[in-house]
Amino acid sequence: MTAADILKNYNLNKTHCRVLVLEHLMKNRRALSQAEIEKSLRPLCNRSTIYRILNKLSEKKIIQLIVIDEVNKYFYDEEALSAKGAYEPVYFQCIKCNRVVPAGRMSKEAFQLSEGFVKLRYNFVIQGICDKCNQEHYNKS
Ligand SMILES: [Zn+2]
């Protein structure tokens, strides 16, 4: 599916910047912050446009929002999108290079809240050292 098809399926207008932002996330296999997206799409789309697009896309669950150390990161997860919330994606953050990549999924039954508790925001993030940084470490020693 192309970015334009996805926007159409969710009844969103195919504005130039919406297509660019979604395409950019689709071709990156790691989660990106708004600042990183801005850097790549400047000067085609401005900051506030990108901000609004990211909010809209994550509100519609087209992209995943992952909050790490108070920074919002966005990731296009094709499988999570087609599973329509049947499970929760788990991510991995490298503490050396800061890369955030998908690391599996968790069934919703694995975490049932007690009665009266309301789920607002949640992140499943495993922190550690990624394969690339790990390799660099071994190459040095
Ligand atoms: Zn790393």
Q: How far, in Å, from the CA of 102 to the mean position of ligand 1?
A: 13
Q: How far, in Å, from the CA of 56 to the mean position of ligand 1?
A: 30
How many whole angstroms from its chain centre is CA 9? 19
Cβ 3 vs Cβ 23: under 8 Å: yes
Q: Which domains does the chain carry? A: 3-140 (1.10.10.10)
Q: State both tokens at 44.
A: 């085609």
**Which residue, among 90, 88, 94, 92, has the nearest Cα to 104 in the 3D structure?**
90
Residue 109 predicted with pLDDT over 80: no
Return the H-helix or E-strand segment holding 83: helix 78-83
- Write the pLDDT tens digit of every residue in 33-84: 999 999 999 999 999 999 999 999 999 999 999 988 888 999 998 887 887 7
pLDDT at 53 (0 to 100)? 98
Q: How far, in Å, from the CA of 133 to the mean position of ligand 1?
A: 4
